Amino acid sequence: MKNSVKAILIVTILAFASCQQKADSELSIPFEKYELGNGLDVILHEDHSDPIVSVAIYYHVGSNREVPGRTGFAHLFEHMMFQQSENVPEDQYFRLVQSAGGTLNGSTSQDRTNYYETVPKNALEMVLWMESDRMGYLTNTITQQAFAIQQNVVQNEKRQNYDNRPYGHSSTVMARALFPEGHPYSWTTIGEMKDLFNATIDDVKEFHGKYYIPNNATLSIAGDFNPEEVKALVEKYFGEIP
Protein backbone atom coordinates (compact mmCIF):
# COMPACT_ATOMS: atom_id res chain seq x y z
CA MET A 1 0.00 0.00 0.00
CA LYS A 2 2.82 2.36 0.94
CA ASN A 3 4.59 1.63 -2.34
CA SER A 4 1.39 2.35 -4.29
CA VAL A 5 0.91 5.67 -2.53
CA LYS A 6 4.53 6.58 -3.15
CA ALA A 7 4.20 5.71 -6.84
CA ILE A 8 1.06 7.83 -7.16
CA LEU A 9 2.81 10.77 -5.49
CA ILE A 10 5.81 10.48 -7.80
CA VAL A 11 3.61 10.33 -10.90
CA THR A 12 1.58 13.32 -9.68
CA ILE A 13 4.69 15.38 -8.98
CA LEU A 14 6.21 14.54 -12.36
CA ALA A 15 2.95 15.37 -14.15
CA PHE A 16 2.70 18.69 -12.32
CA ALA A 17 6.31 19.52 -13.14
CA SER A 18 5.72 18.67 -16.80
CA CYS A 19 2.62 20.88 -16.93
CA GLN A 20 4.48 23.70 -15.22
CA GLN A 21 7.35 23.49 -17.72
CA LYS A 22 4.86 23.51 -20.59
CA ALA A 23 3.03 26.50 -19.11
CA ASP A 24 6.30 28.39 -18.66
CA SER A 25 7.28 27.75 -22.27
CA GLU A 26 3.87 28.89 -23.52
CA LEU A 27 4.20 32.18 -21.63
CA SER A 28 7.54 32.99 -23.19
CA ILE A 29 7.13 35.94 -25.59
CA PRO A 30 10.23 36.71 -27.66
CA PHE A 31 10.90 40.39 -28.24
CA GLU A 32 13.63 42.83 -29.17
CA LYS A 33 14.22 46.04 -27.27
CA TYR A 34 16.40 48.93 -28.35
CA GLU A 35 16.69 52.69 -27.94
CA LEU A 36 16.75 55.52 -30.47
CA GLY A 37 19.33 58.26 -30.24
CA ASN A 38 16.77 60.62 -28.73
CA GLY A 39 16.01 58.21 -25.88
CA LEU A 40 12.80 56.60 -27.18
CA ASP A 41 12.56 52.97 -26.03
CA VAL A 42 11.27 50.59 -28.71
CA ILE A 43 9.99 47.04 -28.19
CA LEU A 44 9.31 44.74 -31.16
CA HIS A 45 7.49 41.41 -31.13
CA GLU A 46 6.90 39.43 -34.32
CA ASP A 47 3.70 37.42 -34.67
CA HIS A 48 2.79 36.28 -38.17
CA SER A 49 -0.34 34.36 -37.20
CA ASP A 50 -2.60 37.13 -38.56
CA PRO A 51 -1.96 40.04 -40.98
CA ILE A 52 -2.43 42.69 -38.30
CA VAL A 53 -0.19 44.89 -36.18
CA SER A 54 -0.74 46.48 -32.79
CA VAL A 55 1.04 49.69 -31.83
CA ALA A 56 1.11 51.10 -28.31
CA ILE A 57 3.00 54.09 -27.02
CA TYR A 58 3.36 54.61 -23.30
CA TYR A 59 4.27 57.98 -21.85
CA HIS A 60 5.70 57.65 -18.37
CA VAL A 61 3.42 60.25 -16.88
CA GLY A 62 0.09 59.95 -15.15
CA SER A 63 -1.72 61.66 -12.33
CA ASN A 64 1.36 61.01 -10.17
CA ARG A 65 3.08 63.98 -11.86
CA GLU A 66 0.31 66.39 -10.95
CA VAL A 67 0.26 68.66 -7.91
CA PRO A 68 -2.59 69.79 -5.65
CA GLY A 69 -4.56 72.49 -7.42
CA ARG A 70 -3.59 71.09 -10.81
CA THR A 71 -5.15 67.63 -10.77
CA GLY A 72 -6.74 65.86 -13.73
CA PHE A 73 -4.22 67.26 -16.24
CA ALA A 74 -2.87 63.89 -17.41
CA HIS A 75 -6.34 62.63 -18.29
CA LEU A 76 -7.40 65.96 -19.79
CA PHE A 77 -4.35 65.92 -22.02
CA GLU A 78 -5.15 62.38 -23.15
CA HIS A 79 -8.32 63.85 -24.66
CA MET A 80 -6.36 66.62 -26.39
CA MET A 81 -4.12 64.07 -28.10
CA PHE A 82 -7.05 62.94 -30.27
CA GLN A 83 -7.89 66.42 -31.59
CA GLN A 84 -5.29 67.38 -34.19
CA SER A 85 -1.59 67.92 -34.81
CA GLU A 86 0.36 69.83 -37.42
CA ASN A 87 -0.18 67.25 -40.16
CA VAL A 88 -3.32 65.45 -38.97
CA PRO A 89 -6.47 67.59 -39.33
CA GLU A 90 -9.00 68.10 -36.57
CA ASP A 91 -10.91 64.96 -35.48
CA GLN A 92 -9.12 62.78 -38.05
CA TYR A 93 -7.31 60.37 -35.71
CA PHE A 94 -10.30 58.09 -35.21
CA ARG A 95 -11.50 58.51 -38.78
CA LEU A 96 -8.18 57.60 -40.41
CA VAL A 97 -7.58 54.50 -38.30
CA GLN A 98 -11.16 53.26 -38.53
CA SER A 99 -11.22 53.84 -42.29
CA ALA A 100 -8.20 51.55 -42.53
CA GLY A 101 -10.12 48.84 -40.67
CA GLY A 102 -8.47 49.42 -37.31
CA THR A 103 -9.32 50.33 -33.74
CA LEU A 104 -7.71 52.82 -31.36
CA ASN A 105 -8.03 54.35 -27.94
CA GLY A 106 -6.08 55.68 -24.99
CA SER A 107 -6.11 55.52 -21.21
CA THR A 108 -4.62 57.27 -18.20
CA SER A 109 -3.54 55.79 -14.88
CA GLN A 110 -1.56 57.06 -11.93
CA ASP A 111 1.77 56.14 -13.50
CA ARG A 112 1.34 56.25 -17.27
CA THR A 113 -0.71 57.42 -20.22
CA ASN A 114 -0.94 55.17 -23.26
CA TYR A 115 -2.33 55.29 -26.79
CA TYR A 116 -2.85 52.19 -28.89
CA GLU A 117 -4.01 51.03 -32.30
CA THR A 118 -4.63 47.66 -33.93
CA VAL A 119 -4.67 47.82 -37.71
CA PRO A 120 -4.14 45.71 -40.84
CA LYS A 121 -0.41 45.49 -41.40
CA ASN A 122 -0.52 47.72 -44.49
CA ALA A 123 -1.66 50.59 -42.22
CA LEU A 124 1.32 50.33 -39.85
CA GLU A 125 3.28 53.17 -41.44
CA MET A 126 0.28 55.49 -41.22
CA VAL A 127 -0.11 54.76 -37.50
CA LEU A 128 3.57 55.38 -36.79
CA TRP A 129 3.37 58.67 -38.68
CA MET A 130 0.29 59.73 -36.72
CA GLU A 131 1.80 58.85 -33.35
CA SER A 132 5.03 60.67 -34.15
CA ASP A 133 3.14 63.72 -35.36
CA ARG A 134 1.23 64.15 -32.13
CA MET A 135 4.33 63.47 -30.07
CA GLY A 136 6.45 66.08 -31.79
CA TYR A 137 4.06 68.49 -33.48
CA LEU A 138 0.92 68.99 -31.45
CA THR A 139 1.20 72.01 -29.15
CA ASN A 140 1.14 74.63 -31.91
CA THR A 141 -2.24 73.35 -33.10
CA ILE A 142 -4.07 73.43 -29.76
CA THR A 143 -6.79 76.05 -29.97
CA GLN A 144 -8.81 77.59 -27.18
CA GLN A 145 -12.01 76.27 -28.76
CA ALA A 146 -10.79 72.67 -28.95
CA PHE A 147 -9.43 72.89 -25.42
CA ALA A 148 -12.71 74.27 -24.05
CA ILE A 149 -14.67 71.45 -25.71
CA GLN A 150 -12.49 68.72 -24.19
CA GLN A 151 -12.43 70.52 -20.86
CA ASN A 152 -16.23 70.29 -20.84
CA VAL A 153 -16.15 66.65 -21.97
CA VAL A 154 -13.91 65.67 -19.05
CA GLN A 155 -16.04 67.63 -16.59
CA ASN A 156 -19.12 65.75 -17.81
CA GLU A 157 -17.20 62.49 -17.57
CA LYS A 158 -16.51 63.24 -13.91
CA ARG A 159 -20.16 64.07 -13.28
CA GLN A 160 -21.36 60.90 -15.00
CA ASN A 161 -18.83 58.41 -13.63
CA TYR A 162 -18.13 59.88 -10.19
CA ASP A 163 -20.40 62.64 -8.92
CA ASN A 164 -23.80 61.30 -10.05
CA ARG A 165 -23.12 57.59 -9.70
CA PRO A 166 -23.85 55.41 -6.66
CA TYR A 167 -20.58 54.83 -4.80
CA GLY A 168 -18.88 56.92 -7.48
CA HIS A 169 -16.65 58.61 -4.92
CA SER A 170 -15.47 55.36 -3.33
CA SER A 171 -12.15 55.45 -5.20
CA THR A 172 -11.62 59.06 -4.09
CA VAL A 173 -12.34 58.20 -0.46
CA MET A 174 -10.01 55.19 -0.57
CA ALA A 175 -7.19 57.19 -2.16
CA ARG A 176 -7.42 59.85 0.53
CA ALA A 177 -7.54 57.20 3.26
CA LEU A 178 -4.56 55.25 1.95
CA PHE A 179 -2.20 58.12 1.18
CA PRO A 180 -1.33 61.30 3.09
CA GLU A 181 -2.56 64.69 1.89
CA GLY A 182 -0.43 65.98 -0.97
CA HIS A 183 0.80 62.52 -2.01
CA PRO A 184 0.37 62.09 -5.81
CA TYR A 185 -1.68 58.92 -5.23
CA SER A 186 -4.10 60.71 -2.88
CA TRP A 187 -6.31 61.88 -5.77
CA THR A 188 -7.88 60.06 -8.70
CA THR A 189 -6.90 60.46 -12.35
CA ILE A 190 -10.12 62.32 -13.15
CA GLY A 191 -9.00 65.15 -10.86
CA GLU A 192 -10.94 67.70 -8.84
CA MET A 193 -13.73 69.60 -10.58
CA LYS A 194 -12.38 73.00 -9.53
CA ASP A 195 -8.98 72.10 -11.03
CA LEU A 196 -10.62 71.07 -14.30
CA PHE A 197 -12.46 74.40 -14.40
CA ASN A 198 -9.25 76.34 -13.72
CA ALA A 199 -7.06 74.53 -16.27
CA THR A 200 -5.73 76.73 -19.08
CA ILE A 201 -4.41 76.12 -22.55
CA ASP A 202 -0.96 77.22 -21.38
CA ASP A 203 -1.04 74.54 -18.67
CA VAL A 204 -1.77 71.92 -21.32
CA LYS A 205 1.04 73.08 -23.60
CA GLU A 206 3.50 73.06 -20.73
CA PHE A 207 2.41 69.54 -19.80
CA HIS A 208 3.01 68.26 -23.34
CA GLY A 209 6.41 69.91 -23.63
CA LYS A 210 7.59 68.48 -20.34
CA TYR A 211 6.36 64.90 -20.53
CA TYR A 212 5.46 64.01 -24.14
CA ILE A 213 9.03 63.61 -25.31
CA PRO A 214 10.93 60.61 -26.71
CA ASN A 215 13.07 59.92 -23.63
CA ASN A 216 9.93 59.69 -21.51
CA ALA A 217 8.14 57.18 -23.74
CA THR A 218 8.14 53.53 -24.80
CA LEU A 219 6.90 52.44 -28.23
CA SER A 220 5.70 48.85 -28.55
CA ILE A 221 4.93 47.18 -31.89
CA ALA A 222 3.62 43.62 -32.14
CA GLY A 223 2.32 41.63 -35.07
CA ASP A 224 2.96 40.71 -38.67
CA PHE A 225 5.92 42.81 -39.80
CA ASN A 226 9.53 42.68 -40.94
CA PRO A 227 11.77 43.92 -38.08
CA GLU A 228 14.30 45.70 -40.27
CA GLU A 229 11.58 47.51 -42.21
CA VAL A 230 9.87 48.57 -39.00
CA LYS A 231 13.13 49.81 -37.48
CA ALA A 232 13.62 52.01 -40.52
CA LEU A 233 10.08 53.40 -40.18
CA VAL A 234 10.52 54.09 -36.47
CA GLU A 235 13.74 55.97 -37.16
CA LYS A 236 12.12 57.84 -40.04
CA TYR A 237 9.18 59.14 -38.02
CA PHE A 238 10.47 59.35 -34.45
CA GLY A 239 14.21 59.79 -34.85
CA GLU A 240 14.05 63.51 -35.64
CA ILE A 241 11.95 64.44 -32.59
CA PRO A 242 14.21 66.02 -29.96
Cα 62 to Cα 3, 71, 112, 173: the distances in Å are: 60, 10, 4, 19
Asked if residues 62 and 189 have their Cβ atoms less than 8 Å apart, the reply is: yes
Burial class (CB in 10 A: 0-12, 13-18, 19+), 88: buried
Q: How far apart are CA 112 and CA 130, in angstroms?
A: 20
183 CB-near residues (< 8 Å, 6+ apart):
none
Task: Please list the rounded mean pLDDT of every run of 10 residues in the chain (242 residues).
Answer: 53 58 70 98 98 99 94 95 94 96 97 98 98 95 93 96 93 94 95 95 91 98 98 98 96
The predicted pLDDT at position 20 comes to 58
Q: What is the pTM of this model?
A: 0.86
